[in-house]
């Protein structure tokens, strides 16, 4: 089976590899191995999605574009962003989403959520992209390409790849548990 993945980011590709390793223990896919085909595709949403709807939309658009660009059997789109809970002060959660798309059915999965500390939340709400804000916060360069905000804030107990791995497993659910869930 060919699986297109709508990204070239190492942490996201690591998440897909880790999820596929776990699924292989279940015997998925039946009858063969998975060839992953990473491809750069646009999300069609802002650089930092600011809602669950925008994050899911970005993942969905990446999955659709990846499938179209590669003619694979199945495609994944992955998108990170924040969800702002309307409280005073607002609570800003970092979340990740994945969408699997086979040309007929789209299925959504999400990873864990993590509240951003006040300094990071204020920066993001003020229009600073989280990738830039976490670099300043952690006094590191290009955090997003490695352990990510999840890794910095959880002391690497949950890194960026792990947070996306759960989203990927959720998105692929109807394919690896066929007969148990309807894709409609």
CB atoms within 10 A of CB 115: 13
- Nearest-CA neighbor of 76 among 129, 24, 17? 17
pTM beyond 0.85, yes or no? yes
- Count H helices and E strands in the chain, helices first: 7, 6
pLDDT tens for the chain, residues 1 to 184: 999 999 999 999 999 999 999 999 999 998 778 999 999 999 999 988 999 999 999 999 999 999 999 989 999 999 999 999 988 889 999 999 999 999 999 999 999 999 999 999 999 999 999 999 999 999 999 998 889 999 999 999 999 999 999 999 999 999 998 755 555 5
User: What structural domains and CATH numbers belong to the chain?
Assistant: 2-176 (3.90.950.10)
Pairing mode of beta strands 2-5, 35-38: parallel
């Amino acid at each position: 089976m060919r699986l297109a993945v709508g990204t070239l980011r190492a942490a996201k590709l690591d998440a897909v590899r880790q999820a596929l390793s776990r699924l292989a223990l279940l015997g998925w896919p039946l009858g063969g191995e998975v060839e992953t085909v990473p491809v750069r595709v646009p999300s069609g949403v802002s650089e930092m999605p600011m809602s669950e709807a925008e994050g899911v939309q970005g993942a969905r658009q990446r999955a659709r574009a990846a499938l179209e660009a590669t003619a694979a059997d199945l495609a994944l789109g992955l998108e990170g962003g924040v969800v702002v809970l309307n409280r005073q002060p607002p609570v800003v959660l970092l979340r990740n989403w994945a969408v699997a798309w086979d040309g007929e059915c789209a299925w959504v999965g999400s990873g864990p959520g993590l509240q951003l500390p006040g300094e990071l939340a204020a920066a993001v709400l003020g229009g600073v992209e989280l990738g830039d804000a976490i670099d300043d916060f952690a006094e590191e360069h290009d955090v997003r390409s490695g352990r990510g905000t999840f890794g910095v804030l959880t002391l690497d107990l949950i890194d960026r790849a792990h947070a996306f791995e759960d989203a990927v497993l959720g998105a692929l659910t109807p394919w690896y548990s066929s007969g148990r869930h309807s894709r409609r």
